[in-house]
């Protein structure tokens, strides 16, 4: 493992960070922790665990992309770098498997594995995250923030874009692919994540942040997130306007518009059942996914309002 370094980022993760630090110890050549203004003793915990600590400048808006870049810059002669979020714990054996896969396939610039929820059944929102993380192995377009990146590939594309506040990993992966690198998910457990979402308001803000990512990354790469943006525009803007028109002018039109939502719910539930979810879970998850178009649209509008006003792209936090 001598050539594998780990960059861990976090802000006020508390016991989750302690678990993350403990899971990495002894498995990497270098461990760098990047802190984004924590007030809970995270910096002290990282130093106690033997990590090199980087504290981001408070005068500039925090982003995960900025934190990952700062962590990478603090490494000495990086070769293979595993990025991990502070609410995740590394699964034993993953670093070895990811390293071997990159060494055997020089055309691959980044690999990831499977992330799963530690407290999957603590809430419906945690369950939804767990399903979101569990995607098929093989060649991929993008992944979340837990990934092992070849230093050559990272340097070639200039790292993460620090101005992207959500879906910065998708944006980074898109530039890797455009530079000619292949990205893969290996069939190996990678990290255990703690979403800690127990309230509807948390899920809503996370969905707003997701919509912000759809818009911002879509603005940078118009071919990416096109389906997600269209769904939000149709279900959260177009159909409600048609519903209002139907109520004011043509009554039957309103009924047709209203029927679109249960149809979308049923189609989504069928897709989730095909992925192996039990029927009750599939139905509940489909309800949230159908509803998510509305906070997604709020996030998209937030991004474009900020862009037009040239306002700072500040984080949308849900924890």
Question: At residue 1, does pLDDT exceed 60?
Answer: no
pLDDT digits (tens, 9 = 90+) for 144-186: 999 999 999 999 999 999 999 999 999 999 999 999 999 999 9
pLDDT digits (tens, 9 = 90+) for 267-301: 999 999 999 999 999 999 999 999 999 999 999 99
Residues whose CB is less than 8 angstroms from the CB of residue 129 and which lie 6 or more positions away in sequence, other chains included: 117, 193, 195, 197
pLDDT digits (tens, 9 = 90+) for 208-222: 999 999 999 999 999
pLDDT band of residue 2 (cuts 50, 70, 90) is low
Q: Which domains does the chain have, with CATH numbers?
A: 4-198 (3.90.550.10), 202-309 (no CATH)
Question: At residue 206, does pLDDT exceed 90?
Answer: yes
Task: State the pairing for strand pair 88-90/4-10.
Answer: unpaired
- Which pLDDT belongs to residue 247? 78
Going by the DSSP 8-state scheme, the letter that residue 79 receives in this structure is: S
pLDDT band of residue 316 (cuts 50, 70, 90) is confident
Segment holding 54, helix H or strand E: strand 52-55
Q: State the chain's mean pLDDT as an integer.
A: 94
Neighbours of 231 (CB within 10 A): 18
- Which pLDDT belongs to residue 315? 85
The rounded distance, in Å, linking the Cα atoms of 47 and 43 is: 6
- Which pLDDT belongs to residue 223? 96
Q: Which residue has the tokens 């600590």?
A: 53
CA distances from 108 to 27, 134, 157, 292, 309 (A): 22, 21, 14, 34, 39
pLDDT digits (tens, 9 = 90+) for 19-51: 999 999 889 999 999 999 888 889 999 999 999
- Which pLDDT belongs to residue 221? 97
pLDDT digits (tens, 9 = 90+) for 234-275: 999 999 998 888 777 776 777 888 899 999 999 999 999 999
The rounded distance, in Å, linking the Cα atoms of 262 and 200 is: 21
The rounded distance, in Å, linking the Cα atoms of 17 and 155 is: 27
Whether the full predicted model's pTM is greater than 0.85, yes or no, is yes
pLDDT digits (tens, 9 = 90+) for 59-84: 888 899 999 999 999 999 999 999 99
The rounded distance, in Å, linking the Cα atoms of 279 and 286 is: 10
Residue 103: strand, helix, or coil:
helix
The rounded distance, in Å, linking the Cα atoms of 44 and 265 is: 47
Question: At residue 111, does pLDDT exceed 70?
Answer: yes
Complete DSSP assignment for 176-215: HHHTT-EEEEEEEEEEEE-----SHHHHHHHHHHHHHHHH
């Amino acid at each position: 493992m001598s050539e594998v370094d780990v960059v861990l980022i976090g802000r006020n993760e508390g016991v989750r960070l302690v678990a993350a630090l403990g899971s990495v110890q002894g498995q990497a050549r270098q461990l760098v922790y990047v802190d984004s203004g924590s007030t809970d003793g995270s910096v002290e915990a990282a130093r106690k665990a033997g990590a090199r600590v980087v504290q981001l400048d408070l005068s500039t808006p925090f982003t995960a992309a900025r934190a990952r870049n700062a962590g990478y810059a603090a490494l000495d002669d990086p070769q293979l770098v595993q990025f991990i979020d502070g609410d995740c714990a590394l699964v034993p054996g993953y670093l070895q498997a990811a390293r071997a896969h990159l060494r055997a396939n020089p055309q691959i610039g980044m690999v990831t594995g499977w992330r799963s929820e530690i407290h999957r059944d603590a809430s419906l929102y945690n369950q939804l995250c767990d399903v979101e993380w569990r995607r098929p192995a093989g060649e991929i377009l993008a992944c979340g923030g837990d990934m092992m990146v070849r230093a050559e590939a990272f340097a070639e594309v200039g790292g993460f874009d620090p101005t992207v506040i959500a879906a910065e990993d998708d944006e980074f992966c898109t530039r890797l692919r455009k530079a000619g690198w292949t990205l893969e998910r290996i069939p190996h457990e990678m990290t255990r994540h703690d979403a800690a979402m127990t309230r509807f308001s948390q899920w809503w803000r996370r969905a707003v942040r997701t919509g912000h990512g759809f818009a911002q990354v879509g603005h940078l790469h118009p071919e990416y997130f096109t389906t997600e943006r269209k769904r939000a525009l149709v279900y959260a803007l177009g159909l409600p306007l048609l519903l209002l028109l139907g109520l004011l002018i043509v009554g039957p039109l309103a009924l047709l518009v209203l029927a679109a939502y249960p149809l979308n719910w049923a189609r989504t539930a069928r897709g989730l059942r095909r992925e192996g979810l039990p029927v009750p879970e599939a139905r509940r998850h489909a309800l949230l996914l159908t509803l998510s178009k509305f906070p997604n649209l709020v996030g998209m509008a937030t991004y474009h309002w900020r862009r037009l006003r040239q306002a700072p792209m500040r984080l949308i936090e849900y924890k």
